[in-house]
Structure 1
Amino acid sequence: MGVCDAFARYAPARKPDAMSAPHPPKVAGFDSPLPSSAPASPTVPPVAGTPSCTPPPRTGAVPDAPARPAGTRHCTEPRTLLEDRLAGRIADLASLHDLTRCLVRTGTVRDALREILHAGARLLGARRGLAVLDQDGPPGEYGPHTPVGHGLTHEELGQLETVPAADRPQAPLTTDPTLTEVARPDLTAEVALTPRHREVADRLGYAAAYAHALDPHDGSRLGAAVWLFDGPAVPGPAERRTAAHYLGLAGDHLARLLEVDRARARLAALAEGLLPSRLPTMPGVRLAVRHRTGPLGGGDWFDALPLPEGALGLAVGSVAGSGPQAVAARGRLRAALRAYAVMEGEDPVAVLSDLELMLRLTEPGCPATALFAHCRPGGRRLTLAGAGHNPPLVLGDRRAEFVETGVSAPLGMLGCWEAPGAEVRLDPGETVLLWTDGLLRRTGDPVDRAFARLHRAAAGVPRRLRDDPETVADHVLQAMLPDGRDATDGADDMVLLAARFD
């Protein structure tokens, strides 16, 4: 017999070590604080006063049911409660994941606010809500204290705006930056409720409100969201905790969207500042322009400038690319063209030749297209030249046709640029349309179909509308872009310049 066998045979009996004692089972990776459900030794009597884990006998139990072995303990109820709590927490995290994934897909502040209100209504069990930001936004989108509603009509939002500011559900959040939530479980029972608020609540049919701040993690406050309940109610701690997690993430997303809006607004202001603020007024000609800038800022530009001896210069062009670089390049290009047009505007080919030389020396690798026309309104004669640009279109009572300008390369593409000039004689009452590629691209059609579409749009202008270049430009845009693709958030820049000669 070996030494180990001898030790195992003659070793004295003792209690097992604590390290080798059986452990309670784990649930979802957490050590259970509950006692083990292992059966106790029948020889050890229970301590007096210790609560038993055996459930009491049920009323109406079957009398012949077999009795359980003596000393058996059942602790399944506390374990079930723990599993239920963990399952509920996992369900909340899954809901947060789904709602957050829907939120990050929104690309505008207004869409994000609507998604936040929808998600909060789902988490808190509300049917209606509204959100208010303290930040400025694009014109017509949102502004300080301008509400965005969920389940509320425009008229109902207007009625809520008539409630005194100090009595609105989000009022404490706007005055005390340390508060993050305000619960008003029963508005009808509030003695200090203003009569106007009580009247609006009765008319709209809500009796409770819950407001939460929209705070990103940088500590700033963007605004607040409010949810309205049809009856007296207050969200429970679990619902409020889940909503707080979601609104924290939503605040970060809103902060990013607001910063993008501010950057776009600054770029749009810069882009508009590099274009004429108003068109010149000259006898014998009337002008109108429609210009749209893409969200990234593009290189399409236009100009109309008085020249010596009562002449007029008209120009449109486009710089390749988008963003601040393209906006700055188009500003420099337009400024240079103005200088060359004043010096030698009667020769459009010379103007574009000087512009090409400047572009090649100062803006290498920045191709651009341009079209310049010199005209004397009284004589109704245009002399023009184009550098890789689209030809203008003449609209009159007896014709709607493109002007033949000849084939030419864009500026900055060749070592020595040359292009033929063209001359157009106009009849009284005819309108010349100058435009950029963005007008064609916004239609979504191939180039040949887009050209045909533009021709039909111009020829289809009613005769009663052709006396005003403003109505001509509007009709052409409406016929070209019936789906609203001429909006300011379109993908491409677009210019349409109309000049009507009397």
Structure 2
Amino acid sequence: MSVHDHHPRTQSLSTESRLDADPDPPPHPSSTPVPSADILEGSPHGILIASAREGGTALYANARLEEMFRTPVPMEPGGLAAASQALFDRNGEAMEFAESPLGVALLQRRPARAEVQYRVPGQEPLTLDITASPLDCAHRADQVAVVYLHDISHQHHAAGALDEANRRLAQQLEDITWVHALTERLTDHDSVDETLSRVLSEGARLLQADMGVARLLNEELRTMETRATYGIEPSARAEELISSVGDKGELVDAAARAGGWLVYEDVLTDPAAAGALRELGRETGFRSVYLLALRSASGRKLGALAWAFRRPGRPTSRQRQLATTYCRFAGQIVENNRLYERERRIASTLQQSMLAQELPHIEGVQIAACSLPGAQGMQAGGDWYDVLALPDGKAGLALGDVMGKGLRAATAMGQMRTALRSYALVEGEDPVAVLTDLNALTADMELTDLATVLYMTVDPAQRRATVASAGHCPPLLVDHAGAAFVRAGQGVPMGVMDEWQAEAGEVELPQGALLVLYTDGLVERRGEELGTGLERLRQAALSAPAEVGELCGHLVEQCLDEGANPDDVAILALRMG
């Protein structure tokens, strides 16, 4: 009801104005009669008595109603019907007077209750719980009803605030879940560049960015290096400009001083945008930039991530908060990946330095070897080989695989190779004795929990080999009869038992025979049975080139998936003259 028209409000119910008064009411037996108006005026709720005359006319309104509406209730004939223009239902739709609780009580003569919004321009809206009931007044010609109005605006606002808090909490939980899922996917990438590429693409999707650049600080050169880009057409000029923007890390420092991020809403007009950044925007087509400092878990400066947009503007606060959280986790993963890469380089260098750099020349045989680092994983493995020139023109061939990755595996590999060479030079005629001594040393020095080793001696004059294997892949022999795996001389891996033992195996090597020793990286594929990989190797060996120096490349091409090896691979091959 609109109550802008100020009319005198009925202040009390006199004897003449009471709706169904008895002209001679009996006296109360023991007390003074209480005036009806005093009871209504003392009510904490708004009370309105109205008739259906001229569509809705107020007969009585208590003081609480005036307090609610902050203006007198219109008492003129038809005033209530006119005021109904300010009524709306809980859905915010306009409510006709006939649909309101008062209208239903007056016109349909039945009780009604509803939650109603009362909106008047320039005033705070009210939310009212309205209950109306028809009154039976025999002496009146028009219909009458009484209405109770309870102001529930505060409860409504509190419920709305609770709903909003729940909505925000749900949004925060959704955001946390989203960031967690993105971070989990980041751990699938082992290299720094792959991780940064993923961060740029996922960040672009979050920020609705068109381009992105990830740059890391080279601590040795004290310069910034571009490690990944997103959405930028490659060109020499673009690369030159990217390299020149904050090449000493000034933008990272500026972002750190500003709280971790910077925004250039329009690089063409922002005076803080350096000339190179402005020119880069013209070159690649962006107008605004959002930059985040990338830091390690300890807060050490790593570099910066920047996203660019073709239109001027800035990300929303929620987008910035999510990007900041995501990149905080990404910084930790990038730092770990950098440490892994550094360890891999050290381990790989150590591993390669411990392998035989030159193979000895042994009369009557051709020998070739190769070692390939894994294409996946951040750490070098423990695959190794060695060739020894033994007395009486014999050759000693050794191949091993130390369980594990990284410096520990590379160190154990070097120690085992050195030890085996020493034992072989002393008792090289007996491969079983060599591996028995090696197993004892492995256990005594706790070099590794598990390692596989194969050692054999080859006598070119007798065209015969003696082999012993500590759980290693069986050698492959290719001769005039075909290609077959040598299963002789098998024992358990190193480090499994204190006392290692096996029966040495004897292998005949006819003229032109090819003997292939290899580690499991050549034959194993994820989700595939080992037998399938062994058969693939056997078929590849049957078509091997006659020149043993070309053998390794042939086997790698035929046995590895598109030439990529997920694990380290070592191959040692010998062809009889």
Q: Does 1:417 align with 2:504?
A: no
In structure 1, the partner of 2:142 is none
Q: Is the 8 A contact 1:213 1:225 kept in 2?
A: yes
Displacement, 1:303?
A: 1.3
Q: Does 1:495 align with 2:570?
A: yes
2:230 to 150, 153, 157: 150
Q: Is the 8 A contact 1:392 1:434 kept in 2?
A: yes
Mapping of residues 311-390 of structure 1, within 5 Å? 311-319=394-402, 327-359=410-442, 366=449, 368-375=451-458, 379=461, 381-387=463-469, 388-390=471-473
Displacement, 1:381?
A: 3.7
In structure 1, the partner of 2:11 is none
Q: Does 1:74 align with 2:98?
A: no
In structure 1, the partner of 2:178 is 98
Q: Is the 8 A contact 1:348 1:383 kept in 2?
A: no
Counterpart amino acid of 2:537? L
Counterpart amino acid of 2:368? L
1:391 is paired with a residue of what secondary structure? coil
1:146 is paired with a residue of what secondary structure? strand
Counterpart amino acid of 2:557? Q
1:448 is paired with a residue of what secondary structure? helix
Counterpart amino acid of 2:558? A
Mapping of residues 60-459 of structure 1, within 5 Å? 74=125, 86=165, 87=167, 90-91=170-171, 94-107=174-187, 108=189, 109-134=192-217, 145-153=225-233, 155-156=234-235, 159-163=237-241, 165-167=243-245, 172-176=250-254, 177-179=256-258, 180-189=260-269, 200-273=280-353, 275-276=354-355, 278-282=357-361, 285-292=366-373, 298-308=381-391, 311-319=394-402, 327-359=410-442, 366=449, 368-375=451-458, 379=461, 381-387=463-469, 388-395=471-478, 398=480, 400-402=482-484, 404=486, 406-410=488-492, 413=497, 415=499, 417-428=501-512, 430-442=513-525, 444-459=527-542
Displacement, 1:135?
A: 5.6
Question: Structure 1 length as normaliser, TM-score?
Answer: 0.70
Displacement, 1:220?
A: 1.3
Change (3 A) 1:495 1:242: closer
Counterpart amino acid of 1:282? H
Q: Distance in 1 between matches of 2:506 and 2:171?
A: 73
Change (3 A) 1:43 1:165: closer
Could you tell which deviates more after superposition, 450-459 or 318-327?
Answer: 318-327
Counterpart amino acid of 2:543? G
Change (3 A) 1:484 1:190: same
1:42 is paired with a residue of what secondary structure? helix
Q: Is the 8 A contact 1:103 1:115 kept in 2?
A: no
Q: For 1:364-419, what per-residue CA distance to the aligned partner results, in whole angstroms no more than 9, with x for missing partners?
A: 99565432233467x584532112444322346x4542364624323564846242
Displacement, 1:337?
A: 1.1
Change (3 A) 1:380 1:205: farther
Change (3 A) 1:351 1:248: closer
Change (3 A) 1:92 1:118: farther
Pairwise CA RMSD:
4.8
Structure 2: which 5+ runs fail to align?
1-33, 45-62, 72-84, 88-92, 101-117, 128-152
Q: Distance in 1 between matches of 2:510 and 2:119?
A: 112
Structure 1: which 5+ runs fail to align?
1-8, 21-38, 48-55, 138-142
In structure 1, the partner of 2:76 is none
Q: Distance in 2 between matches of 1:402 and 1:129?
A: 54
Change (3 A) 1:435 1:73: closer
Q: Is the 8 A contact 1:315 1:370 kept in 2?
A: yes
Q: Which has the higher strand share?
A: 2
In structure 2, the partner of 1:5 is none
Change (3 A) 1:85 1:250: farther
Q: Does 1:42 align with 2:66?
A: yes
2:370 is paired with a residue of what secondary structure? strand
Q: Identity of aligned pairs, percent?
A: 26
Q: For 1:181-237, what per-residue CA distance to the aligned partner results, in whole angstroms no more than 9, with x for missing partners?
A: 222222233579777655543342212212111124522122111111112222344
Q: Distance in 1 between matches of 2:311 and 2:300?
A: 33
1:222 is paired with a residue of what secondary structure? strand
2:466 is paired with a residue of what secondary structure? strand
Count of matched residue pairs: 442
Q: Max radius of gyration: which structure?
A: 2
Displacement, 1:424?
A: 3.6
Q: Distance in 1 between matches of 2:336 and 2:243?
A: 28
Q: Distance in 2 between matches of 1:187 and 1:311?
A: 74
In structure 2, the partner of 1:6 is none
Bigger RCO (CA 8 Å, 6+ sep): 1
